[in-house]
Amino acid sequence: MPTPHVGVDVGGTFTDVVLATADGLTTAKVPTTADQSEGVFDGIEKACLTADIDVEDIEVFTHAMTVSVNALLERDGAKTALVTTDGFRDVLEIGRQTRPDLYDLSAERTDPLVPRRRRFEIDERTTPDGVKQEVDLGAVDELSDQLESAESIAVSLLHSYADSSNEAAIAERLRDRFDVPVSASHEILPAFREYERTSTTVVNAYVRPAIDSYLGRITDNAAKLGIPEPRVMQSNGGIADPETVREHAVTTVLSGPAAGVVGAAASAESAISAAGLEGLVTFDMGGTSSDVSLVRDGDVARTTSAEIGGHPIATPMVDVTTVGSGGGSVAWVDAGGALRVGPESSGAEPGPACYGRGGTKPTVTDANVVLGYIGEDAALGGEVSLDVDAACEALASLADEAGLDSAREAAAGVYRVANAKMTRAIRSVTVERGHDPREFGLVAFGGAGPMHAAALANRLEMDRVIVPLAGGVLSAYGLLGADEKHDRMRTHRTLLGDADVSRLESIYAALTDELLEDVQTTSTPIVERTAELRYAGQSFELAIDVNDPVNLDAVATRFGAAHEQAYGYRMNEPVELVTLGVSARVEHDSPQTQYEGTDSSSVGTRDGYFDGERYDVSVWNRDTVQAGTSISGPAVLEDSESTTVVPPGWSGSVRDDGGLVLERGETR
Provide the CB-side half-sphere exposure for 250 (13 A, CA): 30
Residue at 650 is within a domain: no
| Amino acid 378: pLDDT | 66
Q: Where would I find the beta strands (DSSP E) of 235-377?
A: 239-240, 279-285, 290-296, 299-300, 302-303, 306-308, 311-313, 317-318, 321-323, 329-333, 339-345
With a CB cutoff of 8 Å and minimum separation 6, the contacts of 102 are none
Could you tell me the residue range of the domain that residue 109 belongs to?
Answer: 77-210
Split at pLDDT 50, 70, 90, the class of 272 is: low
Instruction: Please check whether residues 284 and 143 belong to one and the same domain.
Output: no
564 with 490, same domain: the answer is yes
Residue 288 contacts residue 322 (beta carbons within 8 Å): no
Helix 407-429 / helix 388-402 crossing angle, nearest 10 deg: 80
> Per-residue pLDDT tens for 490-522?
999 999 999 999 999 999 999 999 888 877 666
Which neighbouring-strand residues pair with 318?
Answer: 302
Both 82 and 150 in one domain: the answer is yes
CATH number of domain containing 559: 3.30.1490
Q: Are 281 and 441 in contact (CB under 8 A)?
A: yes
Pair (236, 138) in one structural domain: no
Does residue 606 contact residue 619 with C-beta atoms inside 8 Å?
Answer: yes
Whether the Cβ atoms of residue 16 and residue 472 lie closer than 8 Å to each other: yes
Cα dihedral 58/63/67/73 (nearest 10) = -150
Buried-state track 48-63, b at ≥16 Cβ within 10 A, e below 16: beebebebeebebbbb
Q: What is the pLDDT, as a whole number, of residue 348?
A: 66
| End-of-domain residue from the set 586, 606, 625 | 586
Checking if the pLDDT of 358 tops 60, the result is yes
pLDDT at 2: 52
Shortest CA distance to 167 belongs to which of 373, 159, 45? 159
pLDDT value at position 567? 85
Residues 116 and 56 in one domain: no
Inter-residue contact 207 to 68 (CB < 8 Å): yes
CA distances to 160, 162, 588 from 130, in Å: 8, 6, 41
Query: Do the bridges between strand 526-535 and strand 306-308 make them parallel or antiparallel, or are there none, so unpaired?
Result: unpaired
Asked if pLDDT for residue 22 goes beyond 60, the answer is yes
Q: Say if 304 falls within a structural domain.
A: yes
37, 217 contact by CB (below 8 A): yes
Residue burial 426-458, b: 16+ Cβ < 10 Å; e: rest:
bbebbeeeebebeebbbbbbbbbbbbbbbbbbb
User: Of 417, 433, 450, which one is at a domain's C-terminal end?
Assistant: 417
pLDDT tens string 72-120: 888 889 999 999 999 999 999 988 877 666 777 777 778 899 999 999 9
Question: From CA 150, how far away is CA 137, in angstroms rounded?
Answer: 19
Q: Is the pLDDT confidence value at 281 over 80?
A: yes
Same domain? For 194 and 90 the reply is yes
Q: What is the CATH number of the domain that holds 56?
A: 3.30.420.40
Task: Over range 264-288, report the average pLDDT.
Answer: 79
DSSP E strand stretches across 511-574: 526-535, 542-546
Query: Do both 427 and 373 map to the same domain?
Result: no
* Residue 403 resides in a domain: yes
Quick check: 39 and 31 in contact, CB under 8 A? Answer: yes
Q: Which residue has the higher pLDDT, 21 or 277?
A: 21
Task: Residue 465: count other Cβ atoms within 10 Å of its Cβ.
Answer: 29
Is residue 1 scored above 50 in pLDDT? no
DSSP 448: S
Q: Give the pLDDT confidence score for residue 668 in this predicted structure.
A: 40
pLDDT in tens, 440-487: 999 999 888 999 999 999 999 999 999 988 888 888 988 998 888 999
- Residues 6 or more apart whose Cβ sits within 8 Å of residue 172: none
Which of 558, 586, 614 corresponds to the end of one domain? 586
User: Residue 302: inside a domain, yes or no?
Assistant: yes
Q: What is the pLDDT of residue 29?
A: 86
Q: How many CA atoms lie within 13 A of 281 on its CB side?
A: 35
Instruction: State the CB neighbour count (10 A cutoff) for residue 524.
Output: 9
pLDDT greater than 90 at residue 300: no
Count of CB atoms situated within 10 Å of the CB of 319? 19
User: Tell me, what's the pLDDT at 363?
Assistant: 93
Q: How far apart are CA 206 and CA 249, in angstroms?
A: 9
Rounded to an integer, the average pLDDT of 261-266 is 87
The Cα 339–Cα 325 span in angstroms is 13
Burial bucket for residue 105 (CB in 10 Å: 0-12, 13-18, 19+): exposed
| Rounded Cα gap, residues 230 and 214, in angstroms | 12
Mean pLDDT for all residues in the chain: 89
Distance CA 595, CA 625 (A): 10
- Asked if residue 611 belongs to a domain, the reply is no
Q: Are residues 137 and 229 in the same domain?
A: no
Query: Which pLDDT band, with edges at 50, 70 and 90, does 203 fall under?
Result: very high
Which tens digits make up the pLDDT trace of 133-145?
999 999 999 998 8
Encode pLDDT of 593-634 as tens digits: 677 778 778 888 999 999 989 999 999 988 888 888 999 989
Same domain, 18 and 105: no
Torsion of CA 311, 313, 319, 325, to 10 degrees: -20
Find the CATH number of the domain harbouring 139.
3.40.50
- Dmax over CA atoms of the chain, in Å, equals 79
Domain shared by 259 and 185, yes or no = no
Q: How many domains does the chain have?
A: 5
Do 113 and 183 have their domain in common? yes
Residue 274's pLDDT band, with cuts at 50, 70 and 90, is low
Would you say residue 638 lies in a domain?
A: no
Residue 667 has pLDDT above 50, yes or no: no
Residue 626 lies in a domain: no
pLDDT tens per residue across span 373-413: 998 776 555 555 788 999 999 999 999 999 999 999 999 99
Region of 339 (left: φ > 0; alpha: ψ -120 to 50; beta: rest) is beta
Nearest by Cα to 67 from 40, 36, 42: 36
DSSP one-letter string for 410-426: HHHHHHHHHHHHHHHHH
Report pLDDT for 412.
94
Task: Give the HSE-up count for residue 559: Cα atoms under 13 Å, Cβ half-sphere.
Answer: 26
Specify if 387 maps to a domain. yes
Same domain, 99 and 129: yes
